[in-house]
């Protein structure tokens, strides 16, 4: 993954975290930087996160499940 794409992805996730969104990697609360690092190690794989909304329809969690470290 190119550095520009990684930087943009990191800024987006960090902004979401500042707005109160929780991030999870394989069920464990994880910092956005760790999610990016883990997913970039497997850059040929595509990871589609699950976006979890609260009762009012506001985004509250982003979950990356079944991500393996190689």
9-63: per-residue pLDDT in tens?
A: 888 889 999 999 999 998 999 998 888 888 776 566 666 788 999 999 999 999 9
Count of structural domains within the chain: 1
Is 36 contained in some domain? yes
Q: How far does CA 1 lie from the centroid of its chain?
A: 15
pLDDT at 67: 72
Is 70 contained in some domain? no
Is 69 contained in some domain? no
Categorize the per-residue pLDDT at 69 as very low, low, confident or very high, splitting at 50, 70 and 90: low
Residue 70 has pLDDT above 50, yes or no: no
In a 10 Å sphere around its CB, with 0-12 CB exposed, 13-18 middle and 19+ buried, how is residue 23 labelled?
buried
Residue 1 has pLDDT above 60, yes or no: no
Is 29 contained in some domain? yes
What are the backbone angles phi and psi of residue 38, rounded to the nearest 5°?
-65, -45
What is the residue range of 44's domain?
3-64
């Amino acid at each position: 993954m190119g550095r520009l794409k990684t930087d943009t992805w990191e800024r987006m996730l960090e902004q979401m975290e500042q707005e109160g969104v929780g991030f999870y990697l394989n069920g464990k609360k994880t910092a956005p930087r760790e999610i990016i690092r883990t997913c970039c190690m497997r850059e040929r794989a595509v990871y589609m996160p699950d976006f979890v909304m609260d009762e009012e329809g506001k985004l509250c969690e982003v979950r990356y499940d079944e991500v393996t470290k190689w």
